[in-house]
């Protein structure tokens, strides 16, 4: 089983999220976990694009492209 951590969030924010989004998720924990996974995945995609740009610039500087 995956270990978990406790995070403190403002109550009004949790209530608003529950009212608007809980019908899509089983719990507030599931909602926050899903959102964080998506943000991490998006960040990895941005880094991949950045790394690709760096490689292309190096290849261009060496005259390969």
For 7-27, what is each residue's pLDDT tens digit? 999 999 999 999 998 889 989
- Against a cut of 0.85, is the pTM above it? no
- Per-residue pLDDT tens over the stretch 23-32: 899 899 999 9
Number of alpha carbons in the 13 Å side-chain half-sphere of residue 18: 10
pLDDT at position 51, please? 81
Four-residue CA torsion sign, 20, 29, 24, 44: positive
The whole-number pLDDT of residue 48 equals: 79
Task: Decide: 18 and 28 in contact? Cβ < 8 Å.
Answer: yes
């Amino acid at each position: 089983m995956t270990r978990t951590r406790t995070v403190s969030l403002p109550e009004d924010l949790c209530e608003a999220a529950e009212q608007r989004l809980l019908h899509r998720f089983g719990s507030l924990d599931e909602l926050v976990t899903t959102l964080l996974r998506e943000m991490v995945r998006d960040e990895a995609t941005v880094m991949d694009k950045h790394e690709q740009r760096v490689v292309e610039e190096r290849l261009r500087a060496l005259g390969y492209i």
